[in-house]
Chain A
């Protein structure tokens, strides 16, 4: 039986909250951050621990969700495309919304994703909305020039409910996209 893999990329600039987001989800959902080693090691170890930038969630015997956090620093930008391509079903773009400056820092990376993956469903998560100086959603939309149809969700990445809500919203976007594609095919 072939295993179906749903690949979700967690993108966003350095310090936006990608690692925290995956870590919070792993505390509430059965997300494994231990991954199988490609070849059996000499000591018989079959898995290795990776940072919380990666998570794997088994939904059915034949259905697995992968969450890939990508390095946010500009100097690793050559990795963005490499990690994202190869069957990315959707991406969550996390922005540090604690100040306008931090939101502006995300513009380049967001444009990169929009240009390289124009049809891929995505949701923008405005993290750190609990900070008193947090930028409001309409301002974030304006700074990032977010298309009308793309959702911008408030996020507090350390809050389980908030992280789950954002993840489910992204999954709903992916489902809507797949439904549209199915209609188009017929």
Chain B
């Protein structure tokens, strides 16, 4: 569900884990900003509740280790796309 309907649906969800999964997904960034503008107070209350649980409970961090070589590849990639 998208747009306002999606946001209303989202605001009705009370499952903390689900909300955090949404916040950490890529597509949520735009959605989060829309919510921030339209539903700041509701979101704030919800996030305050979330903050009462531990960090480990809130966010499942998927750790795929980044190496110096990866960063070097990014730098080289940028340099190949643009003359700095």
Contact = CB atoms under 8 A, between A and B. Distances in A.
Contact of A6 (B40, B55, B62, B71): B71
Interface string A27-55: 01110000111100100010111110110
**Interface size class, chain A:** 35 or more
A51 B22 CA distance: 17
Interface stretch (A85-93, A97-105, A139-147): A85-93
Contact of B75 (A5, A28, A175, A178): A175
Interface in B14-66: 22-30, 32-33, 36, 40, 44, 47-48, 51, 55, 59, 61-66
A162 B45 CA distance: 40
Contacts of A47: 27
A168 B73 contact: no
B12 interface: no
Chain B interface SS verdict (over half)? helix
Given A164-B82, A165-B84, A168-B84, A178 B26 contact: no
B30 A171 contact: no
Nearest to B21: A38
B13 to A, nearest CB: 13
A178 B30 contact: no
B48 to A, nearest CB: 7
Contacts of A37: 2, 27
Given A56-B26, A59-B77, A3 B64 contact: yes
Nearest to A85: B59
A57 B75 CA distance: 12
Given A78-B44, A171-B74, A175-B72, A50 B36 contact: no
Given A85-B59, A168-B79, 4 more contacts: A36-B27, A49-B30, A65-B74, A178-B67
